[in-house]
Amino acid sequence: MLKRGWFPNDSSLRITLVFLIASLLCFFSSVSQSRAADLNRPSIADQLVGGEFSYVIQSGDSLTAISARFGVGVQVLAADNHISSRSSLRIGQVVRIDNRHIVPKIADDGILINIPQRMLFYLRAGHLLRAFPVGLGRHDWPTPTGAFQIVTKKENPIWSVPISIQEEMQREGKSVQTCVPPGPDNPLGKHWLGLSIPGYGIHGTIAPASIYRFQTHGCIRAHPDDIAGLFDEVSPGTRGLLVYQRLLIASAGGRVFLEVHPDPYKKDVKVHAQFEELLKSLPQFRIDRQLATGIIQKEDGMAREIGVKNSR
């Protein structure tokens, strides 16, 4: 007989129920962790974005600004152009840019953001519609991983400053703001896509040079032109994924590409082991292992060719 609610008085039965409940909680937790691990486990991709091209320096350009706009590291830009990362650029100067990135093969629909890659991809029915660099959370304020939906769309948003950021302002001796109206001082820019992950969103910025960096309080920051285009194409209910893949491999056009990024949140992802595992799926390709090892060690974040299809 059950007394005083649903929980039984019999001690052995009570212990059994507690054990069963604990087991179920552990099971669902392990399933959730397994699904999260699957999302962060790379697979062989089949397409790239970006390209190799020349860019003519305009007034106001810097390596940092070019890096942010095209999604390529400052050090990579400098190395590719045989200049110092602190070099001043001249108007009319021509720089070589290689901003190829691998599109992670995870989902065919919705928004996909790969945190180490600092790239956002928008797909519909398997077709890649948009891809652009983003700014993400700094190491002490990381952007979370997991599934989400777009829940709100706002043009010219008001920024209600979270308490945590107000406290940070106070600690740093800054003027504490509780609310920032739309306008040139609003760090959210002109467009806000609120996520189902409370407190997080994809938004524009008044500091475009900060994109392709880990400088935010966890939100996803995009160039004003990029977020404007995405804003027009998505609606509440659009699904998305935030993943953490440092290593990406793609097989495209009879060639194999490898892209490796640093570990911004120190998750200790074993990229060497991932690389070896993925190679098992590419027996028909001739891989330059020495080149691949160098790319893994360098972690420059760009897609580099490491192999071609075996000729018969």
Tell me the C-alpha distance between 222 and 228, whole Å.
9
**Block residue for tokens 């650029």:** 89
In the chain, DSSP finds a helix count (H) and a strand count (E) of: 7, 20
CA 256 to chain centre: 22
Q: Which amino acid is present at 240? A: G
Spot the catalytic one: 203, 217, 223, 261. 203
Please tell me the number of Cα atoms within 13 Å of 211 on its side-chain side.
31
Rg (CA), the chain: 23
- Judge whether 203 counts as a catalytic residue: yes
**Block residue for tokens 């056009």:** 253
Tell me the C-alpha distance between 36 and 266, whole Å.
17
Spot the catalytic one: 101, 191, 217, 219. 219
Structure tokens at 157: 């948003």
- Judge whether 179 counts as a catalytic residue: no
**Block residue for tokens 């700094």:** 138
Catalytic residues: 203, 219
